[in-house]
Structure 1
Amino acid sequence: MISNISEHDPECTVQPNKTVKDGEDVVLTCTINLDTNAPGDLVWLKNGKEVSRKEGQNNTWETQLNRSDDNAIFDCQLQHYTLPPGSEISCGDKIQADVQYLSVFNMAVTPSTTVKERERFTIDYTAQDGNPGPSNMTLSREEEIVISNDGLDIRYTISRISKLESGVYKCEANTEFYDGSYEYWSREKRIVVHSEYIFSSGQSLRYH
């Protein structure tokens, strides 16, 4: 029997890093130094739920982290027969996962990709639910940048659009991750502006 087991805390480590990209593997290691070959069970928990249990002084658990694991708390407990229920010993430093993943981008045009001259026209370019957010977002027309910013949503409005503003509008974004790598996203839409003709007979409309 070990009379001073409560003085020993498990040590928790993660390799290669607690910050990872979506889908990367990590190795969580929990160790404890006790003067015995059977210290009980070392138990890994994720957000308080058991995910791995091993008897001995070492519990190495390999797992893949994805975006649903972002901000998850990993903890290791020593469970020993000399400890009363509810008195399990946790590692001093819990591990909080930082899982990085690409934003969900969207490009929406109002009223549509085909508009009448002198109509109000809007492009909304948004980035949602990314970790981290995009480091740069641009909107261009025929390869000429119209708006560029550092990761903020873009709204581009033309109050009275003309045929000269027809063309291919492209949204682009770059996201930089913890390891210095980048991911690129783009989407484009061709906008066609029609002239409007009004005839005296019934005020009918025709476009070309």
Structure 2
Amino acid sequence: MLAALQELYPDAACELDFRTPFELLVATVLSAQATDVSVNAATPALFAAYPDAFALAQAEPEDIEPYIRRIGLYRAKAKNLAGLARLLVERHGGEVPNDFDAVVALPGAGRKTANVVLSNAYGYPAIAVDTHVGRLARRLGLSTQTNPDKVEADLEGLFPKDKWVYMHHGLILHGRRVCFARKPNCGACLMAEFCPKVGVTDAQG
């Protein structure tokens, strides 16, 4: 499975646009229940206005909302961004900490966000479980769990630690491009020969 993913997506990487750990944190919080495309369309103007935590900490949620209005749940996310920026300034000198628990403690940042930020910004070994990763893990027989934390534990027990970050990105790309939820394109899948659910959609179980 790992070999098939690497053949399909040799350069799989984070598709959120960012230049700094701060930008990655903000983009990841915005990406919850939203597409990377919509986030990438919004963040250039947002980061031009608020280039770091110190600038964003001065903003009120209603100041942030116009920049992210096209992203789902934008009001709640604007509130979270204002709150996390203030905590970054108060607790971490304006920097995104290289510490899992510290990132999880930020508003709008859960376990998945911490895994994405720490793995892509600081090389922390992690598999962040989003809807694509969870779906493919169950469909490919890698996990029977629906709880993302338990899926994460199952995947980390199956694959080498130095491949965890790649697995996260590879599974996401496969979910977006081939193994769709409603109608998977099994004919284009290099894993079809050993997939236990070839041709089965989520609706069919």
Alignment TM class, shorter chain as reference: under 0.3
TM-score (norm 1): 0.22
* Structure number with higher relative contact order (C-alpha < 8 Å, ≥ 6 residues apart): 2
**Structure with more of its chain in strand, by fraction:** 1
TM-score (norm 2): 0.22
From the CA coordinates, give the structure whose radius of gyration is larger: 1
**Structure with more of its chain in helix, by fraction:** 2
